[in-house]
Amino acid sequence: MRRALSGFVVAALLAGCGPASPTPPPCPTAAPTADQATAILADAATAEFATSQGAFTVTLDPSSAPIATANFVALARCGFYDGQSFHRVLTGFVIQAGDPQTRDNHGDFEGLGTGGPGYHFTVESPGADQRYDRYTVAMANNGQADSNGSQFFVCLVDLDSGLARTYSIFGRVTARTDTVDAIGAVPVINPETGVPIDPVIIDSVTIAAGS
């Protein structure tokens, strides 16, 4: 009996030893160059978000913002966004994430929304045929020409007539838009700042190649 039990324990332990999880690449310390962006985007078509409110898919669009798109992909691949929260939820406007400070503090605090990857890069203006309509995904910035970093937002309604064309568009939510709507409807501490009462956590962002 003792010998059989020992064999069972060994078998159970071995059964739990699957392939090791791949080690993510190091996070970038600067935005990609044009050549690096081309290489990064070669096998990047969608970003699959897993959040505490559910999943949704962003189809990437580097047509007018290849640097911003590749930078987002590089940050996603290194796990930069994992554990962060949507720190700004403004019903009827946008949901916003990408501040690494929200990994450790999901509430409202001084300096919320000022965090980034440690570098900035130039804003790429959207093309003439691109719109800030519902479910468009774009980089957030502070209005300066070189203030793109890691923060991004998703439009909850058509904002094309109200936003200056100074936010780099890099994708659109194309699947599970109901999750985005659910995030956009969570209760917040203060409707002016939009910090959710119960944090909406990004569990992971997985980049997938096209078919």
Please write the tens of the pLDDT for every residue from 70-79: 999 999 999 9
Domain residue ranges in the chain: 32-208
Higher pLDDT, 12 or 207: 207
The answer to pTM > 0.75 is: yes
**According to CATH, what is the number of the domain 32-208?**
2.40.100.10
Instruction: Name the residue with tokens 């502070």.
Output: 142
* Residue 210, pLDDT score: 79
Task: Tell me: pLDDT of 20 over 80.
Answer: no
Task: Tell me: pLDDT of 34 over 50.
Answer: yes
Neighbour count for residue 9 (Cβ, 10 Å):
10
* Residue 22, pLDDT score: 76
Task: Tell me: pLDDT of 104 over 80.
Answer: yes
Neighbour count for residue 116 (Cβ, 10 Å):
17
Eight-state DSSP code of residue 196: B
Give the model confidence (pLDDT) of 120-171 as tens digits.
999 999 999 999 999 999 999 998 999 999 999 999 999 999 999 999 999 9
Spatial separation of the C-alpha atoms in residues 59 and 76, rounded to whole Å? 14
Spatial separation of the C-alpha atoms in residues 188 and 172, rounded to whole Å? 25
Neighbour count for residue 102 (Cβ, 10 Å):
23
Q: Phi, psi (5° rounding) for residue 2?
A: -65, -40
Mean pLDDT of 78-96: 98
* Residue 161, pLDDT score: 93
Spatial separation of the C-alpha atoms in residues 112 and 47, rounded to whole Å? 25
Report in angstroms the alpha-carbon separations of 50 from 3, 84, 157, 206: 44, 11, 22, 8
- What would the two tokens of residue 145 be? 């020409």
Average pLDDT of the chain to the nearest whole number? 92
User: CB of 151 within 8 A of CB of 96?
Assistant: yes
**Candidate from 15-24, 37-46, 89-98, 197-206 with smallest mean pLDDT:** 15-24
Task: Report the percent of the chain where pLDDT is more than 90.
Answer: 87
Report in angstroms the alpha-carbon separations of 138 from 31, 65, 106: 16, 10, 22
